[in-house]
Amino acid sequence: MKEIKLGVIGCGYWGPNLIRNFSENYHTDIKYVCDINENRLERIRLRYPHITATTNYKNILKDNDIQVVAIATPVHSHYNLAKDALEAGKHLLIEKPFTSKVKEAEELVELANKKNLMLFVDHTFIYTGAVKKIKEVISSGGVGDIYYFDSVRVNLGLFQSDINVIWDLAPHDVAIMDYLLTEKPKSVVATGASHTHSKIEDIAYVSINFKNNLIAHFHLNWMSPVKIRRIILGGNKKMIVFDDLDPADKVKIYDKGITLAKTNKKTVYQNRIQYRIGDMYAPNIDNTEALKIMVDHLADCLLNKKTPITDGESGLRVVRILEAAEKSMKKGGIKISL
Amino acid sequence: MKEIKLGVIGCGYWGPNLIRNFSENYHTDIKYVCDINENRLERIRLRYPHITATTNYKNILKDNDIQVVAIATPVHSHYNLAKDALEAGKHLLIEKPFTSKVKEAEELVELANKKNLMLFVDHTFIYTGAVKKIKEVISSGGVGDIYYFDSVRVNLGLFQSDINVIWDLAPHDVAIMDYLLTEKPKSVVATGASHTHSKIEDIAYVSINFKNNLIAHFHLNWMSPVKIRRIILGGNKKMIVFDDLDPADKVKIYDKGITLAKTNKKTVYQNRIQYRIGDMYAPNIDNTEALKIMVDHLADCLLNKKTPITDGESGLRVVRILEAAEKSMKKGGIKISL
Amino acid sequence: MKEIKLGVIGCGYWGPNLIRNFSENYHTDIKYVCDINENRLERIRLRYPHITATTNYKNILKDNDIQVVAIATPVHSHYNLAKDALEAGKHLLIEKPFTSKVKEAEELVELANKKNLMLFVDHTFIYTGAVKKIKEVISSGGVGDIYYFDSVRVNLGLFQSDINVIWDLAPHDVAIMDYLLTEKPKSVVATGASHTHSKIEDIAYVSINFKNNLIAHFHLNWMSPVKIRRIILGGNKKMIVFDDLDPADKVKIYDKGITLAKTNKKTVYQNRIQYRIGDMYAPNIDNTEALKIMVDHLADCLLNKKTPITDGESGLRVVRILEAAEKSMKKGGIKISL
Amino acid sequence: MKEIKLGVIGCGYWGPNLIRNFSENYHTDIKYVCDINENRLERIRLRYPHITATTNYKNILKDNDIQVVAIATPVHSHYNLAKDALEAGKHLLIEKPFTSKVKEAEELVELANKKNLMLFVDHTFIYTGAVKKIKEVISSGGVGDIYYFDSVRVNLGLFQSDINVIWDLAPHDVAIMDYLLTEKPKSVVATGASHTHSKIEDIAYVSINFKNNLIAHFHLNWMSPVKIRRIILGGNKKMIVFDDLDPADKVKIYDKGITLAKTNKKTVYQNRIQYRIGDMYAPNIDNTEALKIMVDHLADCLLNKKTPITDGESGLRVVRILEAAEKSMKKGGIKISL
What residue ranges define each of the domains in chain D, with the CATH number in brackets?
Answer: 4-123+290-310 (3.40.50.720), 126-288+320-337 (3.30.360.10)
pLDDT confidence of residue D50: 85
Q: Tell me, what's the pLDDT at B265?
A: 52
C62 secondary structure, DSSP code: T
The answer for residues whose C-beta is within 8 angstroms of residue A316's C-beta and 6 or more apart is A98, A102, A105, A106, A109
Q: How far, rounded to the nearest angstrom, does the alpha carbon of residue D205 sit from its chain's CA centroid?
A: 17
pLDDT at B119 over 90: yes
pLDDT band at B22 (very low <50, low <70, confident <90, very high): very high
| CA torsion through residues B289, B295, B299, B305, sign | positive
Among B153, B165, B232, B329, the strongest candidate for a mutation testing the A interface, having the largest count of A CBs within 10 A, is B232
Pairing of strands D185-193, D336-337: antiparallel
CA distance C78 to chain D (A): 21
- Which strand (E) or helix (H) includes residue C217? strand C215-221
ipTM score for this prediction: 0.94
Contact B207 A205 (CB under 8 A): yes
pLDDT at residue C212, rounded to an integer: 87
Which residue from C137, C248, C283 is spatially nearest to B281, judged by alpha carbons? C283
Rg (CA), chain B: 22
B250 pLDDT more than 50 = yes
CB B31 within 8 A of CB B44: no
pLDDT at A281: 96
Q: Is the pLDDT of residue B85 over 70?
A: yes
Q: Between chains, do B241 and A226 touch, taking CB under 8 Å as contact?
A: yes
Q: Chain D within 8 Å of C230 (Cβ-Cβ)?
A: no
Q: How far apart are CA B202 and CA B223, in angstroms?
A: 7
**DSSP classification of residue C198:** T
**What's chain C's average pLDDT?**
94
Pair C329, C61: CB distance under 8 Å: no
Burial (CB count <10 Å: 0-12, 13-18, 19+), residue D257: buried
For the segment C119-154, what is each residue's pLDDT rounded down to a tens digit?
999 999 999 999 999 999 999 999 999 999 999 999
Please indicate if any CB of chain B lies within 8 Å of the CB of D282.
no
Contact: A148, B203; criterion CB under 8 Å: yes
Any alpha helices (H) in A140-188, and if so which ranges?
A: 165-180
Residue A264 predicted with pLDDT over 70: no
Q: How far apart are CA B133 and CA B231, in angstroms?
A: 14
pLDDT tier at C270 (50, 70, 90 boundaries)?
A: very low
- pLDDT exceeds cutoff 70 at B276: yes
Amino acid at B17: N
Which regions of chain B does DSSP assign to beta strands (E)?
4-9, 28-34, 52-54, 68-71, 91-95, 119-122, 146-156, 185-193, 203-210, 215-221, 223-235, 239-243, 251-260, 273-282, 336-337
Among candidates D203, D226, D241 on the partner chain, residue whose Cβ is nearest the Cβ of C225: D241
Sheet containing D4-9: which strands, arranged edge to edge? D52-54, D28-34, D4-9, D68-71, D91-95, D119-122
Is B181 in contact with B218 (CB distance < 8 Å)?
no
Radius of gyration, alpha carbons of chain A = 22
CA distance between the termini of chain B: 47
Question: Nearest 5 degrees, angle CA A282-CA A149-CA A145?
Answer: 80
Q: How far apart are CA A298 and CA A255, in angstroms?
A: 36
Query: Which D positions 235-254 lie with beta carbon below 8 A of chain B?
Result: 245, 247-248
C232 vs D224: CB contact, 8 Å cut-off? yes
Cis status, amide bond into A117, omega within 30 of 0: no
Q: Amino acid identity of A230?
A: R
- The residue type found at C60 is I
pLDDT < 70 positions in chain D: 1, 261-272
Q: State which amino acid sits at residue C241.
A: V
pLDDT digits 0-9 by tens, A167-210: 999 999 999 999 999 999 999 999 999 999 888 999 999 999 99
Q: Residue A220 pLDDT > 70, yes or no? A: yes
- How far, in Å, CA of C154 to CA of A184, rounded? 47
By the CB < 8 Å criterion, does C226 face chain A? yes
B contacts of C285 (beta carbons < 8 Å) = none
Give B190-232 pLDDT, tens digit per residue. Answer: 999 999 888 899 999 999 999 889 999 999 999 999 999 999 9
* Nearest by Cα to A166 from A333, A326, A334: A326
Q: How many helices (H) and strands (E) does chain B have?
A: 10, 15
Predicted pLDDT of residue D258? 86
Q: Give how far C277 is from chain D: nearest CA, Å.
A: 9
Size of interface A-C (CB pairs under 8 A): 8
Confidence band (pLDDT; 50, 70, 90) for A63?
very high
Residue A48: which pLDDT band, with cuts at 50, 70 and 90? confident
Please say if the pLDDT value at position B270 is more than 50. no
Contacts with D281 from chain A: Cβ below 8 Å: 279-282
Cα–Cα nearest to D310, from D153, D140, D86, D128: D128
Which of chain D's residues have a Cβ under 8 Å away from the Cβ of A286? none
Across residues B46-73, what is the average pLDDT? 94
Residue C261 near chain D (CB below 8 Å): no
Query: Cis omega (within 30 of 0) on the bond before C233?
Result: no
- What mean pLDDT do residues A156-164 have? 86
Q: Which residues in chain A touch residue D249, judged by CB atoms under 8 angstroms apart?
A: 280
Higher-pLDDT residue of B238 and A50 is B238
**Rounded Cα gap, residues A3 and A298, in angstroms:** 13
CA distances from B226 to A153, A256, A279, C40 (A): 17, 10, 13, 48
Predicted TM-score (pTM) of the model is: 0.94
Per-residue HEC secondary structure of C150-183 comes to EEEEEEECCCCCCCCHHHHHHHHHHHHHHHHCCC
Q: What's the average model confidence in pLDDT over B89-106?
A: 98
The whole-angstrom separation of Cα A257 and Cα A275 is 6
Q: Partners for C (CB, 8 Å, 3+ pairs)?
A: A, B, D
Give the residue on A whose Cα is nearest the Cα of D277: A284
Q: Rounded to a whole number, what is the distance in angstroms from the first to the last CA of chain A?
A: 47
Helices C312-330 and C102-115: angle between axes, nearest 10 degrees: 170
Task: Give the amino acid at B74.
Answer: P
**DSSP H/E element including A96:** none
User: Looking at the predicted structure, is the pLDDT value of residue B62 above 70?
Assistant: yes
User: Is the peptide bond between C283 and the residue preceding it cis, with omega within 30 degrees of 0?
Assistant: no
Task: Report whether pLDDT(C271) > 70.
Answer: no
Q: What is the mean pLDDT of residues B269-274?
A: 63
Give the model confidence (pLDDT) of A88-113 as tens digits.
999 999 999 999 999 999 999 999 99
C276 touches chain B (CB under 8 A): no
User: Cβ neighbours of residue C104 under 8 Å, at least 6 residues apart?
Assistant: C78, C79
- Does A46 contact chain C (CB < 8 Å)? no
